[in-house]
Amino acid sequence: MRTVSIQDKAAIESVIRSCRTCFLGLSDENNQPYVVPMNFGYSDGFIYLHSAKEGRKWQVMNSNPKACVTFCLGDELAWQDEHIACSWRVKSKTVIAEGTLEFVDDFEEKKNILKIFMAQYSDREFEFGAPAVRNVGVIRMKIDVLSAKEFGAKAITPWNS
């Protein structure tokens, strides 16, 4: 079993769309790392997040908008020889996206982003009340750097390719 890089955009987006949670990595003004699980939306090279406009996460995002978002799909154990510890793997696929967070304040744009956000979780159409839109913090991250890998992939050899 081996680790392989995923290059195909459709395969990468499939991993993102199959996840229910992402992990937002931030670093505060003292370079203290802070990673928090979050719900998300994804569309056209942007990751969308939402948050209360207060608390540690909001404060850290405001002090340093550079961020890393990780998606992980799968957790199946696999091994080549169950008696050899180094042959054990967790079969999974990951996507890591890096970029800069932007805060969205425009009311109509926030409503549209909240619809993208909900499309990650449901095929239903949703409406959002004005107080909910005004009070939620909406964050957009343009993906600047993207990498994806599959762990525990079956090794391709001439006799099984």
Write out the chain's pLDDT in tens, 161 residues: 577 888 999 999 999 999 999 999 999 999 999 999 999 999 999 999 999 999 999 999 999 999 999 999 887 676 666 787 776 677 779 999 999 999 999 999 999 999 999 999 999 999 999 999 999 999 999 999 999 988 776 654 444 44
Kindly compute the dihedral angle of the four CA atoms of residues 23, 28, 33, 38, in this order, to the nearest 10 degrees.
-10
Q: What is the Cα 113 distance to its own chain's centre?
A: 16
Distance between CA 116 and CA 40 in Å, rounded? 9
- Quote the pLDDT of residue 158: 47
Quote the CA–CA distance of 53 and 139 in Å, as a whole number: 10
Among the four given CATH numbers 1.20.272.10, 3.60.20.10, 2.30.110.10, 1.10.357.10, the one describing domain 2-153: 2.30.110.10
Q: For residue 121, give the DSSP letter.
A: T
Torsion of CA 19, 128, 114, 24, to 10 degrees: -70
